Structure 1
Amino acid sequence: MDFHPTEEQAAAAGLAARIFSDLATHERLAATGTGSDTELWKALTVAGLTAAVEEIGLVGLVLLLEEQGRTTAQVPYAATCVYGILPVAAHGSPEQRARLLPALGSGEAVATGAFPARGRITAERGRLTGTVPAVPWLRDATHVLVPDTGRALWLVRTDAPGVRTSPVETTAPWSAGRLALSGADGERIGSDGAYEHTLAAARTAFAGLQAGVCAGSLARAVEYTSTREQFGRPLSTNQGVMLRAADAHMDTEAIRVTTYEAAWRIDQGLPAHEHALTAAWWASEAGKRVVHAGQHLHGGMGADLDHPVHRHFLWGRQLDAYLGCGSELLAELGASIAEGEQA
């Protein structure tokens, strides 16, 4: 496998880094509150970074999501890409691709997904019924990708008859909402295997987002402990601080490398179910450790709800909850490995 980004992927990541660092500032994030930053979202789409995902693939998307995670920028970028652009591009019909992809790429349409499937939605002749308690970025979405009990994928317009959405507050400000469907029309996307492919890509993408969140938290901790002095010397010179930061760095790199491997395999069309689960497990388990470490290394400042590092803490915990707690992911991974050995 080759983790070196292509020229196009590196250029897209560099552009994303500049846009996120310029616009996702602490002051703007504080002013945005629990909603999404519409100006930042427009900047990303105008720059072509949403539409570019078709060309740069999942590896490229992971690189861009790392940049979003470093700043905890509040835009529906991950959701639109993994629940809109990528599944439509990979599994949609020629007519669906021609109709949906331009709007998703320009930001005119915003997608999210009610993933993973937990048997909440039933489908009868293309009409969907059921409730999902919390869907990320649902308040921004024009479309939501819904798996039914048979794991078929359906794309539903949020303004369609039989669709009700209502705001819910989650740990991190993701403009989440409750989705209630009562006989809503759904548009089928793909066939057998589309759900598994989309779930693996989504787990991988959100693990990449977690890698960025952790890297941003650790960078803030390093900066703080290098300048904050105690007893006449920087906190970073204390062995306990150095060891805690070193552990956080290794955890962050473990999230990153497992995510790159899963993304590369998916882009190459190779089996990646267990690799995506591995990346998600590291993002969940190690991600919690890193954002806790980042907050603890700030000492009393880490308890300040208005301090930037606290946002990384909230995002890290929310991604842990969204990916599924480590024990759940580990159980699924173990079952998959055992099933493979018995086959």
Structure 2
Amino acid sequence: MPAERMLPTPEAEDLIALTRELCRKELAPRAAPAEETGTFPRDVFRLLGRSGLLGLPYPEDQGGGGQPFEVYLQVLEEIASVWASVAVGVSVHSLACFPLANYGTEEQRKQLPELLGGELLGGYALSEAHAGSDAGALSTRALAVDDHYLVSGTKTWITHGGEADFYVLFARTSDEGSRGISCFLTEGQMPGLTFGPPERKMGLTGSTTAQLHFDNVRVPSEWRLGDEGQGFPIALAALDSGRLGIAACAVGLAQGALDHAVSYATEREQFGRPIIANQGLAFLLADMAAAVESARATYLDAARRKDRGLPFGRQASIAKLVATDAAMKVTIDAVQVLGGYGYTRDFPVERYMREAKVMQIFEGTNQIQRMVIGRHLAKDAAK
């Protein structure tokens, strides 16, 4: 059954209703076949963009939907409950728009309506082979030459790699550690930019992940976002919001798994009654429901803090940690509820379980989240 929501406005209620209708009609029939073949659903993102769902948390005068973050995240959750690859893609696209919306000049931000409208899809080029959790160790370099930069290096684990129309790129402009990183907006296809083959992943196979290879790619100086050396703070600020996006995706994935498990348990009969009537199974489903609703409350608390302009970095890390761990546990238990059927591809719960694992890894591993939370606690205690 759909999640029960307390939304702040009638407009938000309409957005959730629209999202559920699109998920039912357009996404649900295509999800399993696309994941089976590893087909990237580019047209789905255009549909979501034209429906006004790709730019929800950005101001209307920038081409966005003008919605609070708590509404945007619940839309993401609804999408993830049906097709996690698409929900993650929407979250990454929003993440890629963040530096331009928040650090771009007035002239640069004139591009935002096109980026948020759905015709263009974004990627976030931060990670490298030896600089995943340690983003300050980036080696991709941007060398200033006259009115442009020459960019060389390799980015790894890039969602929408080779599919995106634009990338937000983080590259080193000096050797001053984390203070030597700058942020750039680049086109999806540029001379000298090539792509590795799609990664062969355990799950989210409908979401293309690939390396980006920059070989003296010429990036105009006016495409730099923020000041030279400001890239690391921009990346961290964007990731706080991005972690909430992944938390919402994880909760949606868990909700979808719970829905399938409950449906199966009410229809499947053993010993003359539905298996949900057995206390052992009913308690397992109850624990799954408690985990989903607790995780949802956690990300919504962080989102509401963000909407009010309050610090939310610690709460974002807690939400990402709690929600993704919950998704892993709930999807494993959903497979258990279905028994042997849960282990087959005839039912979606095995796919949900495979997809849940990466939620604990990207946007900062859950071990990194614990480090971030601990640092916040130590800092607060020292005040």
Is the structural similarity TM-score above 0.5? yes
Deviation (angstroms), 1:95: 1.4
Aligned to 2:214: 181
Query: Residues 4-42 of structure 1: CA distance to partner in whole angstroms, max 9, x if unpaired?
Result: 433333222221111011111245531463122234223
**Could you tell me how far apart the structure 2 residues matched to 1:228 and 1:71 are?**
22
Aligned to 1:147: 170
Match of 2:92 among 54, 59, 79: 79
Aligned to 1:278: 318
Aligned to 2:120: 109
Query: Residues 90-137 of structure 1: CA distance to partner in whole angstroms, max 9, x if unpaired?
Result: 2222112112x1222222211021356362334433443332321122
Distance change in 2, residues 1:195/1:153 (3 Å): same
Alpha carbons 2:163, 2:188 under 8 Å: kept: no
**Could you tell me how far apart the structure 1 residues matched to 2:376 and 2:24 are?**
40
Query: Is 1:92–2:104 an aligned residue pair?
Result: yes
Deviation (angstroms), 1:73: 5.3
**Could you tell me how far apart the structure 2 residues matched to 1:109 and 1:302 are?**
37
Partner SS state of residue 361, structure 2: helix
Query: Residues 245-285 of structure 1: CA distance to partner in whole angstroms, max 9, x if unpaired?
Result: 11111211222111112222222221111011111111222
Deviation (angstroms), 1:183: 3.4
Distance change in 2, residues 1:139/1:35 (3 Å): farther
Query: Is 1:124–2:143 an aligned residue pair?
Result: yes
Name the structure with the higher helix share: 1
Partner SS state of residue 216, structure 2: strand
| Superposition CA RMSD, Å | 2.2
Partner SS state of residue 152, structure 2: strand
Listed as ranges, the matches of 1:50-61 within 5 Å are 50-54=54-58, 55-61=66-72
Aligned to 1:160: 190
Deviation (angstroms), 1:180: 2.2
Distance change in 2, residues 1:335/1:73 (3 Å): closer
Aligned to 1:29: 32
Structure 2 unpaired stretches of 5+: 1-5, 59-65, 128-134, 172-177
TM-score, scaled to structure 1: 0.90
Distance change in 2, residues 1:342/1:185 (3 Å): farther
Question: In structure 2, what residue type is equivalent to 1:47?
Answer: S
TM-score, scaled to structure 2: 0.81
Work out the number of aligned pairs and report it.
339
Alpha carbons 2:49, 2:119 under 8 Å: kept: no
Q: Structure 1 stretch 206-215 or stretch 46-55: which is displaced more?
A: 46-55
Question: In structure 2, what residue type is equivalent to 1:119?
Answer: A
**Could you tell me how far apart the structure 1 residues matched to 2:68 and 2:182 are?**
23
Query: Is 1:235–2:275 an aligned residue pair?
Result: yes
